[in-house]
Homo-oligomer: A and B are copies of this chain.
Amino acid sequence: MTTTLGGPGALMASETAQQPAVWRGLLAESGPSGASGIDAAAALVRRRSPRFVLLVARGTSDHAALYAKYLVEITLGLPAGLVSPSTFTAYGARPDLRDVLMIAVSQSGGSPDLLRTLEVAKAGGALTVSVTNNAGSALASTADAHVDVLAGPERAVAATKSYTAQLLALYLLLDRVHGGSGVADGLPDLGDEVLARDAEIAALATRYRFAERMITTGRGYSYPTAREAALKLMETAYVSAQAFSGADLLHGPLALVEPRVPVLAVVSAGPGGEAFRPVLDALAERRADVLTVGSAGAGVVLPETADALAPLLEILPFQLLARHVAVDRGGDPDAPRGLRKVTETL
């Protein structure tokens, strides 16, 4: 179904389409005096040379944080963890966080539990960096350094451009900390290439129109994509989508797989995709209906890119798919039932 101006999902369609332009803007502002603040934040992190990294986020931003966790472990060689804010807010944990870098990721920068977590972390000795889409937010001003993902105002409830801008900002930040050169220049053009395939994805969506349940899966860098894809399908099309890392899928949830439950597998050409092969075999054994998406996919084949950057391209077909399925079903992904843009929990 074509998305018409002002029609259901028009906002989400417009923000999805803006992504390559947002990436170009962020890349242009990632230099020493760039408005993103990436360079200054990276310099501060290098100076303090943390030994452990904690990430804190909610919802879509939590998937960007999970992506950053893989980057920290693999490229920086530092142990990392995702914080459950309730330990700080509800249980009053006051951990010793000297030598710890805490990165808070939030589109709005306005989530009270993230702000409280950051404050507690700072008091506990952590170096704090916030990554938001709002330089005027409390999270931005509280952190020792702020990275602006420069995605521009995001009005659709389902986050799209702020998500990939977070991924790119985190990639550039951690690459800079590592002393890398951040070769991401070709990415916006590849993004345009993928988004131009909207008709292909719209055709795919007709196949999933009647699916009540879906399973998304991936390993390594592609696992955050599987998680975010499931969230998009849940919040816009109300599909009961479950995301599993490839390895976890084999520990129990595989019993759920049957021919009438579609599986969307994110498979890149990197080590994560390689390690995913046994999962594809197990799915075939259970006669699953599998669509593979990614640079090593056979269904929606994406252009190859550096392994760590693949998640930026991988999520695009899922953003398109979620919107098409939602609109085909008569819903409006711009106004999902029961949701608001900024969620406040303490």
Contact = CB atoms under 8 A, between A and B. Distances in A.
A210 to B, nearest CB: 14
9 contacts: A51-B51, A51-B52, A59-B251, A62-B251, A77-B94, A77-B95, A91-B220, A240-B261, A285-B338
Contact of A91 (B54, B100, B271): B271
A278 B94 CA distance: 24
Contacts of A242: 240, 242
A343 B247 CA distance: 9
Interface in A44-96: 51-52, 54, 58-60, 62, 69-70, 73-74, 77-87, 89-96
B96 A248 contact: no
A248 B61 CA distance: 11
A276 to B, nearest CB: 9
Interface of A: 51-52, 54, 58-60, 62, 69-70, 73-74, 77-87, 89-97, 99-100, 113, 158, 212-213, 219-220, 223, 231, 234-236, 238, 240, 242, 245-248, 250-258, 261, 271-272, 274-275, 278, 282, 285-286, 336-339, 343, 345-346
A60 B238 CA distance: 27
Nearest to A75: B93
Contact of A90 (B81, B85, B219, B258): B219
Contacts of A240: 213, 240, 242, 256, 261
A86 B275 contact: yes
Given A74-B93, A77-B94, A90-B274, 7 more contacts: A51-B99, A79-B95, A81-B81, A85-B247, A90-B272, A212-B213, A275-B346
Contacts of A337: 255, 286
Contacts of A219: 86, 90
A324 B338 CA distance: 33
B96 A51 contact: yes
A159 to B, nearest CB: 9
